[in-house]
Structure 1
């Protein structure tokens, strides 16, 4: 799954595999992807495409998709308004939605995350989750507790399965995915530091004859480690296809690391004679050549925006598609109203065509941007008779260069990212035949852009009260 798809979860429904992943503070919440073969994925929608659950405000993490009977369930983590992280659940009659939210199930003082449903040896439904003790420099127990069949409340008493106790696990264990195989419950779990350039994530496994234990950790943990291509593999779901076993998990591509984010990766394992999973070389397999992501070529046709587009979860913009144009209304915040698109590599080129830039009044600007979060952004914009290159860092805006706006009904703006850290912007008034830089506009150092748990997006921005029109958006991996 090229792009930023952390904590992927997958299940088979009919003849189709359905998956979802963490969206964190990007909306819409929780992507929905489908595939016939586990390797070619299509993004078809979101669990919460328009309106977030009323009880939650941000950090939409670790959704687990499962099918039981005629219903699809999504167990997910989100931050509870005025509280801590909680595990909630939503359901639908079709995996594509629409989903009905049933509210939070558990929220402990330190936070509760990474919910996973599992039936025990007596067919009783349980919720497995992690107590987020590492947020308080405390241990991270993995708990199990009975869940009613309506999926609306926990019942009985919770039972601890295991916690971080081995040196390699560092300050946490999390992201448990369970599977029943040859009379054992197997818990695949992640441990240590998940994210960023200094990540130490790896994958372990434990097993038990009964769901509530006692649990035994594998003495050869971790079972999935770094290699030269994929870094910090962890937090995934076990899936079987054609009598072969896989873990769909996330990992950083070593060539792009935090700038693209944690991508969905499929790693095959076999069961040993002793009944433990074994990944070849204890690492994610490395293909001879990875397929190049398809170029983004958005013409804004139709009446709805493609599901690839995202926005800050707490700052949903106002936009519409009309006559082959994206019309985006600005916001007053320093970051403006933004629509961002996944990037697929640390080096890429993105362009957009801004219509009627001379009609954007003073006090408003519109253009192309590299987007970290609402506090961190780099953009080339037009407005008030000027072109401006500016950056937003930790909420503070700095104009780096400016020039008079050329007289043109269309202005093509280009963003070129190099190795995830250097961002060069230029513009064209003749449809891309010739390009011009602003005065003294060297490449901008954007190493600060990615948040700790997300990759950088490329997209469009409008700041101020105006509505601006964009004719297209294109993104290709590599330099152009």
Structure 2
């Protein structure tokens, strides 16, 4: 009687009975509309700057390098730009991975991984006076013979600045130590000697530990990390945590590792950053959505955790669906009329082969390329099933040897495309750099001014293409409305893009009037 009265009195002033029942009574998990970063956003990193959360993620071999996103609530994100929007760092050429965003002393820092020209994977750093940039690159900080990746800055218990990173030993069938070494305050060079914090030793970790992000809580340094196989249909990724009283150790791994694993909605969760909002703790990490056949890529997922009575982080939705409602961004159609003078920020291109393009009078003018699979512009796919359409103007006016159309883009060596040129419509498969004609048909006589091209994808891998001269009657160039498989398209570390293609002499230009991507809810 007395107990229930006290509970009612406390509830009346805005508290709950969890105050009385102790730390084992927790708030219900927050309703999160995952994915919070729909599309291919691996290795997400986030930090709070002022009243706004800023995030970035791996862009790999798609340019521009390293997206910059902002949010007020960790769930609704807006693409604000890129760390390297126009020019890549002079020392790097590809594999733009695992950027880590941090803020200190009025400056924003991006620690990132890239392949060093003539060398191996290295960790670099760039800085800006504002999180949206522009960023100045300071060059590589560390590049070991086996490769150095996944950097994270952390101050020790004495306030000394350190860089924490992974030695990429798994690339040569060796262990993967996590190192820490002093970093000068200018963030331009490592100083002193490196110290190993921990490495892959537990069976569940397989041949690697990586993707470390740290925080300090309750007298401990905590290191969230990923382990095992990151990518593709055979991925085995999961998340663990280790802690230490001092940054340089000794470190102990959580007895409950891995603390975040597959569930019915998401698989292979890992490589994220812990963030706090309104007294609640979250890990922003990546995972594959079930049924996407890896074609969408590793999407940004927000998972809530609390601190248990033993002082370890414990995820609240480990055995249940970590999503309450569908993300409206995922299901909303994407329409680009190509108005204005600048291309929408969501368009991307192969990082080493930026195409030439211009916008004029509601048209995208894409200049053809004779090699590397043509000039390509692509956008994230957001679901495993979708329909993309575009209008190509004056297809009959394309010069000899030039083709243009709509495409599913894995990388410059792997694509599926419906193109027109030379008075023909052709369905092409490009696999491992080798083109193969799947079907062709004459360009309809009433489509000389414009033709609409359509790409429909179901369950990630089933692709159907069609064309129309009037937007009402659609014809599939394959017999019996057939489909072709795109299972070969996604590279091991990234998702498929959908977009536009122009191939042929660089004097040729293709004019596109509209692009629409309609996503099907999963």
| TM-based fold match above 0.5 | yes
Residue in structure 1 matched with residue 232 of structure 2 by the alignment: 196
Q: State whether residues 403 and 439 of structure 1, in contact with CA within 8 Å, keep that contact through their aligned partners in structure 2.
A: no
Listed as ranges, the matches of 1:305-320 within 5 Å are: 305-320=343-358
- SS at 2:294's partner residue? helix
| Residues 1:388 and 2:426 aligned together | yes
TM-score (norm 1): 0.98
**Aligned partner of 2:484 among 430, 439, 444:** 444
Listed as ranges, the matches of 1:349-368 within 5 Å are: 349-368=387-406
Matched length: 478
TM-score (norm 2): 0.90
Q: State whether residues 224 and 283 of structure 1, in contact with CA within 8 Å, keep that contact through their aligned partners in structure 2.
A: no
Over the aligned positions, Cα root-mean-square deviation in angstroms equals: 1.1
- SS at 2:489's partner residue? coil
CA distance in 1, matches of 2:473, 2:354: 35
Q: State whether residues 89 and 104 of structure 1, in contact with CA within 8 Å, keep that contact through their aligned partners in structure 2.
A: yes
CA distance in 1, matches of 2:422, 2:131: 47
**Aligned partner of 1:454 among 464, 470, 494:** 494
Q: State whether residues 130 and 140 of structure 1, in contact with CA within 8 Å, keep that contact through their aligned partners in structure 2.
A: yes
Residue in structure 2 matched with residue 172 of structure 1 by the alignment: 208
Q: State whether residues 267 and 284 of structure 1, in contact with CA within 8 Å, keep that contact through their aligned partners in structure 2.
A: no
Deviation per residue, 1:417-472 (Å, 9 max, x gap)? 11111110001111x11111225362111100000001011000000121101001
Q: State whether residues 303 and 322 of structure 2, in contact with CA within 8 Å, keep that contact through their aligned partners in structure 1.
A: no
Q: State whether residues 393 and 450 of structure 2, in contact with CA within 8 Å, keep that contact through their aligned partners in structure 1.
A: yes
Q: State whether residues 368 and 415 of structure 1, in contact with CA within 8 Å, keep that contact through their aligned partners in structure 2.
A: yes
Q: State whether residues 291 and 460 of structure 2, in contact with CA within 8 Å, keep that contact through their aligned partners in structure 1.
A: no
CA distance in 2, matches of 1:374, 1:334: 5
Give the 3 Å change call, closer, same or farther, for CA 175–284 of structure 1 in structure 2.
farther
- SS at 1:358's partner residue? helix
CA distance in 1, matches of 2:270, 2:294: 15
- When structure 1 is superposed on structure 2, of 243-252 and 441-450 the one drifting more is 441-450
Give the 3 Å change call, closer, same or farther, for CA 358–108 of structure 1 in structure 2.
same
Residue in structure 2 matched with residue 150 of structure 1 by the alignment: 186
Give the 3 Å change call, closer, same or farther, for CA 178–348 of structure 1 in structure 2.
same
- Gaps (5+ residues) in structure 2? 1-36
- SS at 2:417's partner residue? strand
| Residues 1:429 and 2:469 aligned together | yes
Q: Which has the higher strand share?
A: 1
Q: CA deviation at 1:362?
A: 2.0
Runs of 4+ in 1 over 6 A off after TM superposition: none
CA distance in 2, matches of 1:257, 1:389: 23
CA distance in 2, matches of 1:415, 1:256: 17
The structure with the larger Rg is 2
Deviation per residue, 1:251-295 (Å, 9 max, x gap)? 000121411000000000000111100012535752233224221
